[in-house]
Amino acid sequence: MSGGNGKTALVFGGSRGIGAAIVQRLARDGYAVAFTYVSSEAAAREIEEGLISSGRRAKAIRADSGKAEDIRAAVSTTIERFGRLDAVVVNAGIFGIATVDAVSEADLDEMLRINVRGVYLSMQAAAEQLSDGGRIVTIGSNVAIRTGFPGASVYQMTKAAVAAMVKGIALDLAPRGITVNNVQPGPTDTDINAGGIEVLSTMSPLKRVAQPEEIAGLVAYIVNDEAGYMTGASLTIDGGFTL
């Protein structure tokens, strides 16, 4: 699978930030790209229409990654629209900060529902339809390795779970030549970090945060032929935060 010509990718959580950059990059690389959104319909439609007007193939799909039926429907819609599925990127997730004494059961359950259960179900649903030799990429976080600040225990737990499940699923799908890898970004210039870019930049050895396009570039490499011998890996791209 070299390049995206004739191939199809599905990006769970592709209307904003890192996800949107991945959608744009894969489309430029020649993939037909389906992507999901929950609340950012205007942004999703703008991406879809922009890609189509430039001659790309794109489909925005409303789907809640916390609901198994929505996940399965997104995969089915992708197949119906483009006829095949070759690469899946699971980017959908939520973020929250609270120290252990302040985490409610509802907050705990919601983060587990989206960041762990939703990621697993997305990979499970995609694996049923992926072409042999396909690619699965999850978007985790460098906090799976180190947080360095209080209040991230639940988020860290969910991202460590993603890194762990990738290893097991990689073994499950290896007989079909499907690779499963995890990208762990550090602070990135997205709306989730709005207002904190300057502070985060001073904490980085490189004195800046990542641009979403840099994360998308790593994903584009993983889904290509050059990365075909790598599976079950977690690749940290964080400017040295975890060194």
**CATH code, 17:** 3.40.50.720
CB 191 within 8 A of CB 95: no
Residue 129 sits in which domain range? 8-236
Instruction: Decide if 184 is inside a domain.
Output: yes
Instruction: Decide if 2 is inside a domain.
Output: no
Among residues 31, 37, 120, 155, the one annotated as catalytic is: 155
- The structural domain count of the chain equals 1
Q: Any catalytic annotation for residue 155?
A: yes
- As given in the structure block, the two tokens for residue 77 are 């819609």
According to the model, what pLDDT value does residue 4 have?
A: 65
C-alpha to C-alpha distance for 84 and 87, rounded to whole angstroms:
10
Instruction: Decide if 243 is inside a domain.
Output: no
Q: DSSP 3-state assignment of 79?
A: helix
CA dihedral 44, 45, 46, 47 (to 10 degrees): 50
According to the model, what pLDDT value does residue 27 have?
A: 97
According to the model, what pLDDT value does residue 175 have?
A: 98
Instruction: Decide if 48 is inside a domain.
Output: yes
According to the model, what pLDDT value does residue 213 have?
A: 98
Instruction: Decide if 178 is inside a domain.
Output: yes
pLDDT tens across the length of the chain (243 residues): 455 678 999 999 999 999 999 999 999 999 999 999 998 899 999 999 999 999 999 999 999 999 999 999 999 999 999 999 999 999 989 999 999 999 999 999 999 999 999 999 999 999 999 999 999 999 999 999 998 889 999 999 999 999 999 999 999 999 999 999 999 999 999 877 767 888 889 989 999 999 999 999 999 999 999 999 999 999 999 999 999
Instruction: Decide if 66 is inside a domain.
Output: yes
According to the model, what pLDDT value does residue 1 have?
A: 42
Instruction: Decide if 1 is inside a domain.
Output: no
